[in-house]
Amino acid sequence: MVICFDGHCYEIVIIPWPWTPWQPGPGPVNFPQLLRDATVIASLRAAAANAADADVREALVAGTQKAVEALQRRAGGHVSIRNEMEKK
């Protein structure tokens, strides 16, 4: 992404996620891609709280909710996924 103000342009840095390779431990070793995607979604959800503009913040949260729904569909009914901001 590049943002320009009156001819002065700034390239926005992309932060790669996850920062370290995901190594599943005991448990669901059959789902490393699912856990990696969940790490990205949870990180984006947490970062969304830092957005200064309320409309941007709401759009980011809505996008992460859609991503969680897609993750749940891929995981299947035997897996439970919830956002960290939801109550148990």
pLDDT of residue 78: 84
Please report whether residue 10 resides in a domain. no
What is the DSSP code (8-state) at residue 9?
E
Number of structural domains in the chain:
1
Q: If residue 36 lies in a helix (H) or strand (E), which one and from where to where? A: helix 32-48
Does the predicted TM-score (pTM) go above 0.85?
no
Q: Which residue, among 62, 63, 80, 83, has the nearest Cα to 72 in the 3D structure?
A: 80
Please report whether residue 34 resides in a domain. yes
Q: Which residues constitute the domain of residue 80?
A: 18-88
Please report whether residue 49 resides in a domain. yes
Task: State the 10-residue block means of pLDDT for the chain, 88 residues long.
Answer: 90 73 59 81 88 95 93 87 63
Please report whether residue 4 resides in a domain. no
Please report whether residue 30 resides in a domain. yes
Asked whether the beta carbons of 40 and 17 are under 8 A apart, the reply is yes
Give the CA count within 13 Å in the CB-facing half-sphere of 11: 3
